[in-house]
Structure 1
């Protein structure tokens, strides 16, 4: 883990929530929204792309902003370079 700084409130460097993202690939019934089928990464059909997003996101525990971890890290790096 690297130092982070919230780009929104610009003061929080210590209190964060790490939000795990666990995607579930599904096929829904178009009228009811019921799950018709769940897929694994090995059994996706040709029209279903696998999830390619981050495994987790970060929430500032002071102001509530939710972003990718890189946003918080880059903001911390930017402000440490200015010192």
Structure 2
């Protein structure tokens, strides 16, 4: 963990929700939305790109802003407590 500061409300340094993201690669029926196939990393379809986004997102516990963890960490690093 590292210090965070909300870039939106600019005051919250202590109340956050850590959102752990776990992706599932699936192929769905375009009419029904039913899952037709679920892919694993070793058997991806050539037209299906694997998820490359962040594994954690942060939500400010004060204003509700949701951003990548690096956004909150960078804002804290640039606005250190005196």
TM-score, normalisation: structure 2: 0.94
Shift in Å at residue 58 of structure 1? 0.4
For the residue of structure 2 that corresponds to 1:80, the secondary structure is coil
For the residue of structure 2 that corresponds to 1:42, the secondary structure is helix
Equivalents in 2 of 1:30, 1:10: separation in Å?
Answer: 43
Shift in Å at residue 16 of structure 1? 0.6
What stretches of structure 2 of length at least 5 have no aligned partner?
none
Residues 9-64 of structure 1: per-residue CA shift (max 9 Å, x gap):
11100111100100000001121111100111111110101110001100001111
Shift in Å at residue 73 of structure 1? 0.8
Task: Please tell me the root mean square deviation across aligned C-alpha atoms, in Å.
Answer: 1.3
What are the within-5 Å matches in structure 2 for residues 1-83 of structure 1? 1-80=1-80
What stretches of structure 1 of length at least 5 have no aligned partner?
none
Shift in Å at residue 2 of structure 1? 1.2
How many pairs does the alignment contain? 82
Shift in Å at residue 79 of structure 1? 1.1
TM-score, normalisation: structure 1: 0.93
Equivalents in 2 of 1:14, 1:30: separation in Å?
Answer: 43
For the residue of structure 2 that corresponds to 1:77, the secondary structure is helix
Shift in Å at residue 78 of structure 1? 1.2
